[in-house]
Structure 1
Amino acid sequence: MRIIIVGCGKVGRTIAEQLSEENHDIAVIDPNGVAIHDVTNNFDVMGVVGNGASYNVQMEAGIENADILVAVTGSDELNLLCCLIAKKAGDCSTIARVRNPMYNKEINFIKEELGLSMTINPEFAAATEISRVLRFPSAIKIDTFAKGKVELLEFIINEDSMLHDISVADVTKKVKSDVLICAVKRGDEVVIPNGSFMLKENDVVSIVASPLNSGSFFRQIGVQTHQVHNAMIVGGGTIAYYLSEILLAMGIDVTIIEKDRERCEQLSELLPNAVIINGDATNQDILIEEGIEHCESFVSLTGIDEGNIFLSLFARNRSKAKIVTKINRISFDDIIHTFNLGSLICPKFITAEYIVRYVRAMQNTIGSNVETLYRIADSDAEALEFKIRENTPLVGIPLEELSLKDHLLIACVSRNRKIIIPNGKTQIAVGDTVIVVTTQKGLQDIKDILKK
């Protein structure tokens, strides 16, 4: 597909990288020539230096033949204008990043009136993801499918866990819950396990289950399942605002520590039920004074990755809190994971997931559609949700008779509000929602799970 990306910041660069890996024809627009040079040198994309809201610049980038324009500059208004011009100049699908909380309350009106195909708010999406793990603190990541009826949870096997040194097949015998272990990350390796695969301490395990069954599973393996009662948030930016709104609505007490006095005053007006502290959280005395040793969750959301890492390390050493760390610039590598920073949140990757999901949905054939896509196991695997339509070649055939690709698992089937953890006799039907977990990238249609 022909895709134009306006804006080469952290988000735009990540989207360009991931879409170019999927062999799309990409053009990027940015007024910063250095940013364009960096992106075009590192990825197979075309670059145009200029204002993305300019008709002539969009024409130079090929808007007349474009399928999608994605506007992710730092300005909401500029993004909306870019999309409006693209609709007139190229009649393509348009996606705009809209971050301002003021617009968030009226986003449906904006989307409808401007004819946008999609709007993305990375900060709100990040806040939503953080709120999920604070609701279920034993998990380090929670993704939802089938409109919330199915969850995919990642967690780490601790050294004293009953799951250490037993096979996947034995888990189902010991734990009487309808869950499926669908992926295991061990060091640099990600495995789609079979029944004989032996689980070990420090493995990052992904399971698929209904919310009820996932709760039962964690209780049986001796892990807490109740949501936290309070949260200490460092950094008072947009993510902190969105997160605080969600947590307060969940009945969770919120304390925000922010060093900018003017921003503290704004937050006090916006969040009257939260405790706002004007102070520098890099001063450990402030964290201790505000009760870090007794807090149940700690979320570091400053604009500096290194600062977030050190804050989370301090919180880990001084409390038993559920820890969430925002990382935006530093790559997810082995060094980061050795720090044990709890749940890692990266808004640019969340945004890229939304874009890739939409692009794959546009490419679908008559058989099925990518409804949801998540990158799991540090983006080394994908979990995809397909809606099964008429003429799908898999319908009515027992799964054991299908020739599935390697390193791939049909993890769950949702049918008429019923969640099915499939076995070899299970058959897929029209109207089902099917969840597939795989280390193979680029699946666009349910038929792509079959060997050719």
Structure 2
Amino acid sequence: MQIIIVGDGKVGVALTEQLSSEGHDITVIDSNPKVLEQSLESYDVMVVHGNGASIGVLKEAGVEDAHLLIAATSRDETNLLTCIVAKKLGAKHTIARVRNPEYAEQLVLMRDELGLSMTINPELAAAREIHHLLQFPSFLKRDSFAKGRVEIVEIHVGEDSKLAGIPLNRLYEIARVRVLVCVVERGGTVHIPDGSFTLQAGDNIYVTADSQDLAQLIKHLGIVKQKVRNAIIVGGSRIAYYLAMRCLHAGLGVKIIEQNHERCVELAELLPSAVIIEADGSRQDILAAEGISSTDAVITLTNMDEENLIISMYASHIGVPKVITKVNRTEYVEAFKSMGIDTFISPKALCSTDIVRYVRAMQNTTGGSVITLHRMVEGKAEALEFRASETTRHLGETLLDIQLKPEILIACITHKGRTIIPRGSDVFQAGDTVIVVTTSGQPINDLNDIFAD
């Protein structure tokens, strides 16, 4: 597909890397020649220097033949104008990054008039993800499928874990609910396991389960953590605002520590039920004075990865039950985990995943396109949700009789609202949703792509 990406910042680079690796023809537009030079050196892409909202620049980039244009500059207004112009010039689909919450209502009302196929908001996506994790602090990560009926959760297997040394075919004896381990991360390597695979202390495992079974799963595995009733947020960013709104609505106590005076005043007006502290949240004495040792959760949301990591390390060291760290440079997550930090949020990665899902759905021609896509283990594995259609092969055949491509596993089937954690005797029918897990080296656009024949 011909794809134009306008804006070569954090989100733009993440998209360029992912979409170019999947074989799309990418053209990047940016007004900064230095960042374009970096993209040209790092990826197999074309670059155009200039203002992405300019008709001349868009024509130079070949907008009239573009299947998709993604506007991801730092300015919402520029992104919206770029999409309007691109649509008029012939781009088939347009996606705009819009971060300002004041534009939300207008976008709902004027989406068709603006010619938008989709809007993305990295900060809002990050806030949703963090709030999701706060609801079940025992999990390092949670991803929802089948309209929230199914989840894939990440769990660490500690030295004293009931799972250490257990083969997966004995998992039900311990979990006592029907679940499936679909991915195991061990020493930076990803495994798509079978029933004979034996878990070890130090593994991070990704478990597929019915959402209603999560509480029982935590209880039987003995990994119950204190329920989050209050949280300290360090950094008064847009993510902090979106997250505080959700937490306050859920009845949680929220304290935000922010250095900038004007931003503190703004947050105090927007969030009258939250406690806003004007101070340097990276200072140990400030954190101690604001009760970090007695809080249930610390979320670090400053604009500096280094600062977020230092604060998170300190919070983990003194025993804060749940610590969540925002990072921009996800390539260092493996190193960060060795420092005792295990729950990370990357706004750019969340938005990149949403757009890649949209692109894969655009490519599909047989009706089995991607409904939901989530990346695991820093992008080394993917979980994809499809809806089986009449054109899907092997309908009604038992899974035992279906040969899949290597490194692919069917993790869940949802049939008429009923969640099935699959065994060899199970089947899927037209209309069912099917969750597939695979390593990220083989992008799957269609449910039929998983079969070996």
| TM-score normalised by L of structure 1 | 0.98
Which residue of structure 1 aligns with residue 177 of structure 2? 177
Which residue of structure 2 aligns with residue 193 of structure 1? 193
| Structure 1 residue 105: Cα displacement | 4.1
Which residue of structure 2 aligns with residue 341 of structure 1? 341
Which residue of structure 2 aligns with residue 394 of structure 1? 394
Are residue 241 (structure 1) and residue 241 (structure 2) matched?
A: yes
Q: 1:358 to 1:226 in 2, by over 3 A?
A: farther
In the alignment, residue 163 of structure 1 is paired with which amino acid? L
Range that drifts further, 267-276 or 106-115: 106-115
User: After superposition, what is the alpha-carbon deviation per residue over 1:259-282, rounded to whole angstroms, capped at 9, x for unaligned?
Assistant: 001100000010111110000012
| Structure 1 residue 365: Cα displacement | 2.2
Which residue of structure 1 aligns with residue 157 of structure 2? 157
Q: Determine the C-alpha separation between the residues in 2 that align with 1:81 and 1:92.
A: 16
Is the Cα–Cα contact under 8 Å of residues 179 and 214 in structure 1 kept in the other structure? Answer: no
Q: Per the alignment, in what secondary structure is the counterpart of residue 151 of structure 1?
A: strand
Q: Per the alignment, in what secondary structure is the counterpart of residue 368 of structure 1?
A: coil
Which residue of structure 1 aligns with residue 447 of structure 2? 446
Q: Determine the C-alpha separation between the residues in 2 that align with 1:376 and 1:147.
A: 19
Is the Cα–Cα contact under 8 Å of residues 367 and 447 in structure 1 kept in the other structure? Answer: no
Q: Per the alignment, in what secondary structure is the counterpart of residue 302 of structure 2?
A: coil
Range that drifts further, 392-401 or 62-71: 392-401
User: Percent of counterpart pairs with the same letter?
Assistant: 46
Q: Per the alignment, in what secondary structure is the counterpart of residue 331 of structure 1?
A: helix
Range that drifts further, 102-111 or 364-373: 102-111
| Structure 1 residue 43: Cα displacement | 0.2
Q: Determine the C-alpha separation between the residues in 1 that align with 2:304 and 2:222.
A: 36
Q: Per the alignment, in what secondary structure is the counterpart of residue 403 of structure 1?
A: coil
Is the Cα–Cα contact under 8 Å of residues 382 and 441 in structure 1 kept in the other structure? Answer: no
In the alignment, residue 370 of structure 1 is paired with which amino acid? V
Are residue 136 (structure 1) and residue 141 (structure 2) matched?
A: no
Q: 1:326 to 1:404 in 2, by over 3 A?
A: same
Q: Determine the C-alpha separation between the residues in 2 that align with 1:128 and 1:276.
A: 21
Are residue 11 (structure 1) and residue 42 (structure 2) matched?
A: no
Range that drifts further, 182-191 or 110-119: 110-119
Q: Determine the C-alpha separation between the residues in 1 that align with 2:377 and 2:98.
A: 28
Q: Determine the C-alpha separation between the residues in 2 that align with 1:106 and 1:244.
A: 23
Q: Determine the C-alpha separation between the residues in 2 that align with 1:145 and 1:47.
A: 36
Which residue of structure 1 aligns with residue 210 of structure 2? 210
Q: How does 1:314-353 map to 2 (within 5 A)?
A: 314-329=314-329, 331-353=331-353
Q: Determine the C-alpha separation between the residues in 1 that align with 2:93 and 2:53.
A: 16
Which residue of structure 2 aligns with residue 283 of structure 1? 283
Which residue of structure 2 aligns with residue 67 of structure 1? 67
In the alignment, residue 264 of structure 1 is paired with which amino acid? C
Q: 1:10 to 1:131 in 2, by over 3 A?
A: same
Q: How does 1:288-303 map to 2 (within 5 A)?
A: 288-303=288-303
Q: Determine the C-alpha separation between the residues in 2 that align with 1:297 and 1:4.
A: 40
Structure 2, unpaired ranges of 5+: none
Q: Determine the C-alpha separation between the residues in 1 that align with 2:134 and 2:107.
A: 26
Q: How does 1:224-263 map to 2 (within 5 A)?
A: 224=224, 227-263=227-263
Q: How many residues align?
A: 452
In the alignment, residue 319 of structure 1 is paired with which amino acid? G
Q: Per the alignment, in what secondary structure is the counterpart of residue 231 of structure 1?
A: strand
Which residue of structure 1 aligns with residue 124 of structure 2? 124
Are residue 426 (structure 1) and residue 423 (structure 2) matched?
A: no
Tell me the C-alpha RMSD between the 2 structures. Answer: 1.2
| Structure 1 residue 334: Cα displacement | 3.0
Is the Cα–Cα contact under 8 Å of residues 322 and 342 in structure 1 kept in the other structure? Answer: no
Q: Per the alignment, in what secondary structure is the counterpart of residue 254 of structure 2?
A: strand
Q: Determine the C-alpha separation between the residues in 2 that align with 1:241 and 1:122.
A: 13
| Structure 1 residue 187: Cα displacement | 1.0
Is the Cα–Cα contact under 8 Å of residues 133 and 141 in structure 1 kept in the other structure? Answer: yes
Which residue of structure 2 aligns with residue 40 of structure 1? 40
Q: Determine the C-alpha separation between the residues in 2 that align with 1:220 and 1:420.
A: 20
Which residue of structure 2 aligns with residue 373 of structure 1? 373
User: After superposition, what is the alpha-carbon deviation per residue over 1:38-96, rounded to whole angstroms, capped at 9, x for unaligned?
Assistant: 11110000000000001110110011110000000000010000000011001410000
Q: Per the alignment, in what secondary structure is the counterpart of residue 331 of structure 2?
A: coil
Q: Determine the C-alpha separation between the residues in 2 that align with 1:142 and 1:106.
A: 31
In the alignment, residue 428 of structure 1 is paired with which amino acid? F
Q: 1:226 to 1:397 in 2, by over 3 A?
A: farther
Which residue of structure 2 aligns with residue 81 of structure 1? 81
In the alignment, residue 320 of structure 1 is paired with which amino acid? V
Which residue of structure 2 aligns with residue 147 of structure 1? 147
Is the Cα–Cα contact under 8 Å of residues 226 and 296 in structure 2 kept in the other structure? Answer: no
Are residue 24 (structure 1) and residue 19 (structure 2) matched?
A: no
Q: Per the alignment, in what secondary structure is the counterpart of residue 390 of structure 2?
A: coil
| Structure 1 residue 225: Cα displacement | 6.0
Q: Determine the C-alpha separation between the residues in 2 that align with 1:227 and 1:3.
A: 44
Q: Per the alignment, in what secondary structure is the counterpart of residue 209 of structure 1?
A: strand
Q: Determine the C-alpha separation between the residues in 1 that align with 2:289 and 2:357.
A: 44
Q: 1:289 to 1:17 in 2, by over 3 A?
A: same
Q: Per the alignment, in what secondary structure is the counterpart of residue 29 of structure 2?
A: strand
Q: 1:159 to 1:106 in 2, by over 3 A?
A: farther
| Structure 1 residue 226: Cα displacement | 6.3
User: After superposition, what is the alpha-carbon deviation per residue over 1:401-435, rounded to whole angstroms, capped at 9, x for unaligned?
Assistant: 11101111100011111101111111110111100
Q: Determine the C-alpha separation between the residues in 1 that align with 2:144 and 2:87.
A: 32
In the alignment, residue 450 of structure 1 is paired with which amino acid? F
| Structure 1 residue 346: Cα displacement | 0.7
Is the Cα–Cα contact under 8 Å of residues 305 and 330 in structure 1 kept in the other structure? Answer: no
Q: Determine the C-alpha separation between the residues in 1 that align with 2:223 and 2:112.
A: 45
Q: Per the alignment, in what secondary structure is the counterpart of residue 385 of structure 1?
A: strand
| Structure 1 residue 236: Cα displacement | 0.1
Is the Cα–Cα contact under 8 Å of residues 143 and 374 in structure 1 kept in the other structure? Answer: yes
Is the Cα–Cα contact under 8 Å of residues 167 and 198 in structure 1 kept in the other structure? Answer: yes
| Structure 1 residue 330: Cα displacement | 5.2
Structure 1 residue ranges (4+ consecutive) displaced by more than 4 angstroms after TM superposition = none
| Structure 1 residue 253: Cα displacement | 0.8
Q: Determine the C-alpha separation between the residues in 2 that align with 1:103 and 1:202.
A: 45
| Structure 1 residue 367: Cα displacement | 4.1
